[in-house]
Amino acid sequence: MPRKPLISGNWKMNLNHFEAIQLIQKLGYALDGDDLDACDVSVHPPFTDLRSVQTVLDADRIPIALGAQHCHFETSGAFTGEVSPAMLAKLDVTYVIAGHSERRQIFGETDEMVNAKVRAILTNGMTPIMACGETLDEREAGEAEARVQSQVVAGLAQISADQVANLVIAYEPIWAIGTGVTASSTDAEAMCAHVRRVVGDNWGGDAAQSVRIQYGGSVKGGNAAELMSQPDVDGALVGGASLDADEFARIVQHRLL
């Protein structure tokens, strides 16, 4: 059975809640039922926008999943500035990104922290989008596959095969995040296929065939169709292009391009 693509819009630290409401309303108008049958779609606003976006999605019956960009791994406690997975679950959040390259590079998140978050997200009934990817230096040194493999194995430690089968892994080369440089469709496919092999080697063939693997890194309407045509690319984790409703809709509608 073909894996249904998941297109996720990561709004990062952009848009106040008024702007977020406008964007989700425009996106709701830009996408029709056929678009949302062909792809699963999620949006990942900043924490301050989550409740506002959730209200619009519910009130207007827009079949787009609400996502979060990050969470802590504890349910509660003295962690000033953090948000727990239990809090996100109460807002009907479906997907939570864990280990985005910016969290790893800027905020020093380790593979062990990412793994703790993945397990906490699952415990609270949500689906992790676990991100992995190499730096330019690692790629040029021929270490890209080894780095991604280590991130996947460590990030999904203590996760059952059934759980792995139902989560999402996002391959996002760090050198392509926000740079305008996109991995070629051949390179994206090669690494997504590598991720699938790593899953198969560690959690079995069924998990490897079921897990959805997104590509992230300067995805736009102009390159979405080619990227998404690759057999092991099951969706996209979209950054800047998701802040424009028409551009993000083009990515969701890649099958028509």
Return the structure tokens found at 81: 């500035």
How much is the pLDDT for 181? Answer: 74
CATH for 6-256, among 3.40.50.2020, 3.40.50.2300, 3.20.20.70, 3.90.1150.10? 3.20.20.70
What is the total residue count of the chain?
A: 257
Determine the Cα–Cα distance for residues 101 and 111; give it in Å rounded to an integer.
11
Determine the Cα–Cα distance for residues 55 and 101; give it in Å rounded to an integer.
29
How much is the pLDDT for 2? Answer: 75
Of the listed 44, 70, 72, 100, which one is catalytic?
Answer: 100
Q: Where are the domains of the chain?
A: 6-256
How much is the pLDDT for 257? Answer: 67
Q: What 3 state SS string does the chain have?
A: CCCCCEEEEECCCCCCHHHHHHHHHHHHHHCCHHHHHHCEEEEECCHHHHHHHHHHHHHCCCCCEEEECCCCCCCCCCCCCCCCHHHHHHCCCCEEEECCHHHHHHHCCCHHHHHHHHHHHHHCCCEEEEEECCCHHHHHCCCHHHHHHHHHHHHCCCCCHHHHHCCEEEECCHHHCCCCCCCCHHHHHHHHHHHHHHHHHHHCHHHHHHCEEEEECCCCHHHHHHHHCCCCCCEEEECHHHHCHHHHHHHHCHHHC
Q: pLDDT tens for the chain, 257 residues: list them.
A: 579 999 999 999 999 999 999 999 999 999 999 999 999 999 999 999 999 999 999 999 999 999 999 999 999 999 999 999 999 999 999 999 999 999 999 999 999 999 999 999 999 999 999 999 998 889 989 999 999 999 999 999 999 999 999 999 999 998 877 777 778 899 999 999 999 999 999 999 999 999 999 999 889 999 999 999 999 999 999 999 999 999 999 999 998 86
Strands 235-238 and 6-10: parallel
Active site residue 172: yes
How much is the pLDDT for 176? Answer: 77
Q: Is the dihedral of CA 72, 78, 79, 84 positive or negative?
A: positive
Of the listed 172, 189, 194, 247, which one is catalytic?
Answer: 172
Determine the Cα–Cα distance for residues 216 and 213; give it in Å rounded to an integer.
10
Active site residue 134: no
